[in-house]
Each structure stands twice: as C-alpha cells, then as structure tokens.
C-alpha cells in the first residue's frame, strides 16, 4: 500500500512541476514525513 501511495504522490508532484514549467530532475531536495494512523 505504501508503494502505491508513494507512486501516486510522486506522479501528482511531477504533474504540478510540469504545469509550473519544471520537472523532478530540477528538484534539489525533498523532505518526507510519514504518518501512521492505527486502524487504517
């Protein structure tokens, strides 16, 4: 499940960057926070 969610998020970020005239190749740094909710 984490793998699929990560792929979806990266696809969304890539789309946003493309619309702004940029790309993932130009990203220097990205911070990631993982949140776990019991029962989900």
% of the chain residues with pLDDT over 90: 62
Asked if 24 and 13 count as a contact pair (C-beta separation under 8 A), the reply is: yes
Residue 40 has pLDDT above 80, yes or no: no
Task: Read off the pLDDT of residues 12-30 as tens digits, 9 standing for 90 and up.
Answer: 999 999 999 999 999 999 9
Answer yes or no: pTM beyond 0.85: no
Give the per-residue pLDDT at 39.
78
Q: Which of 29, 1, 27 is nearest to 16 (CA)?
A: 27
Distance CA 24, CA 13 (A): 8
What's the token pair of residue 36?
């776990």
Give the per-residue pLDDT at 17.
97
């Amino acid at each position: 499940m984490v793998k699929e969610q990560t792929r979806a998020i990266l696809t969304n970020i890539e789309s946003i960057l493309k619309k702004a005239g940029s790309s993932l190749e130009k990203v220097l740094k990205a911070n990631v926070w993982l949140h776990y909710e019991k029962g989900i």
